[in-house]
Amino acid sequence: MSEAGDGTLLSDRIRNALTDEIASGVLAAGTSLDEQHLADRFGASRTPVREALRQLAVSGLVEMRPRRGVLVTRLTSARMMDMFETIAEVETLCVRLATYRMTPLERCRLSDLHEASKALVAARDLDGYESFNRDFHGSLYAATHNGFMAEQALAIRSRLDVFRRTQLRHEGRMAASHEEHGQVLAAIAEGDGELAARRMRAHMLNAASALGRYIADTVEG
Amino acid sequence: MSEAGDGTLLSDRIRNALTDEIASGVLAAGTSLDEQHLADRFGASRTPVREALRQLAVSGLVEMRPRRGVLVTRLTSARMMDMFETIAEVETLCVRLATYRMTPLERCRLSDLHEASKALVAARDLDGYESFNRDFHGSLYAATHNGFMAEQALAIRSRLDVFRRTQLRHEGRMAASHEEHGQVLAAIAEGDGELAARRMRAHMLNAASALGRYIADTVEG
DNA sequence: GATGATTTGTACGTATGTATA
DNA sequence: ATATACATACGTACAAATCAT
């Protein structure tokens, strides 16, 4: 055995590292990525770096212009709104399905998760809440018992993580998020999928709204 | 200017070719893809082939087992159903949005497309109807005026194209499809997004049902 | 507009790890 | 169980195109 990270492939490790750096904002949108430079940085040759970049291009995190290099995808505000609307609708869809399909155990686990998050809100633990939030929504995807849909939802969501963190910074947003989660859970408990769906959509739109100014300030349309 | 094909990159051309071959069923599920063999087939070296395979792996068309080769993804019947449910729900979603957002011009074009398809049904032109069908649904994606959502829908749909053709072969399915399209259009004309959505979901589930036996026969669960 | 530097795209070689006899 | 065969993973080298001057 000789695992260094998750995948034993260099290109996978590089891809994961770059994914994190893009998602966390370390690699800002528009940054051009030089293959040789990255190779040096990771102590590898250009080959695995190129493979990683190709993969990132498919997931849409970077843009490759043939023979002109690769840059971190720069999102227009219109496209960001499109992405937010899409994930909002997909989450809405997932919650509706999850309401009708989740097992008692899953419902219980989700409820526990939600309860535990109360402490994070009180402690104003941004990182902790962000992590919980991912779990919360991820649990709902899983509860659709549709693996493919869950994957799609996760993939879209991960592309918005950069901004999600920022959103929680807004005054009172964390507490509001917690409250909205509670409303969704209540609807699920009643077995009312449509209500849960509507509340989830509202929750997502609130999160998006909290970002409105940020987006306007940061990205040129 | 010096375009040879679509993308001027060898790896892109190889990726597109392989995508087509997998989608059309020429490369059956479970087929193992040998880098050297593919390189010979395309008259290239293994490098661009590898890059193409990496991209296909991200889109989920092939599976790469580190140091153990790559094979065309073999779908279980459960996963195929997951995919069908997902695209059905996404289409449902798209139609609802499209109803409220499409321009008169778009509505007119879609209607024309639908009318023209009548001839294809009468002529039992399977290829022609399949092509029309892609356009019809594609137009609806576009009519959401949400580019990101449209891309997602298209990506999912393309992964099911292999089976979609088969489905239309069923006795009377083409005529039924045409009729269902008409019902969806009628709801759109009335501006009733919810009705259009319900009818689209029914349309998609009918298409999936037509595949039920095929799936049971072809794929082991 | 031409030339040089930098960087991408492709080819090829070697080593490591997996499967098989 | 050991060894052989083979395909992949990574590195290096060269060619071609872009860009900077």
Tell me the pLDDT tens digit for each residue of A164-217: 777 778 888 899 999 999 999 999 999 999 999 999 999 999 988 887 766 666
B73 in contact with chain A, both atoms CB, cutoff 8 A: no
Rounded CA–C1' distance between A33 and C9, in angstroms? 16
pLDDT in tens, A18-65: 999 998 889 999 999 999 999 999 999 999 999 999 999 999 999 999
> Taking the model in full, what pTM does it have?
0.90
C-alpha to C-alpha distances, A30 to A45, A68, A72, A75, nearest whole angstrom: 24, 14, 5, 9
**Residue of A1, A35, A73, A89 for testing the chain B interface, max B β-carbons within 10 Å:** A89
CATH topology of domain A10-72: Arc Repressor Mutant, subunit A (1.10.10)
Encode pLDDT of B141-192 as tens digits.
999 999 999 999 999 998 888 777 778 888 888 999 999 999 999 999 999 9
With contacts defined as CB-CB under 8 Å, which chain A residues touch B86?
146, 148-149, 152
Tokens of B168: 């239309």
B65: left (phi over 0), alpha (psi -120 to 50) or beta: beta
Give the domain ranges of chain B: 10-72, 77-220
Say which nucleotide is closest to residue A64, CA to C1' distance.
C8
| Residue A10 CA from chain centroid, whole number | 24
Task: Please give the single-letter amino acid code of residue B103.
Answer: T
Q: Do B148 and A59 touch (CB under 8 A)?
A: no
pLDDT number for residue B215: 63
Task: Compute, in degrees rounded to 10, the torsion defined by CA atoms A111, A162, B59, A36.
Answer: -140
- Under CATH, which architecture does the B77-220 domain have? Up-down Bundle (1.20)
- Pairwise CA distance, residues A102 & B64, whole Å: 32
Rounded to the nearest integer, the mean pLDDT of chain A is 91
Cα–Cα distances (Å) from A174 to A78, A132, A186, A206, in that order, read: 25, 11, 19, 11
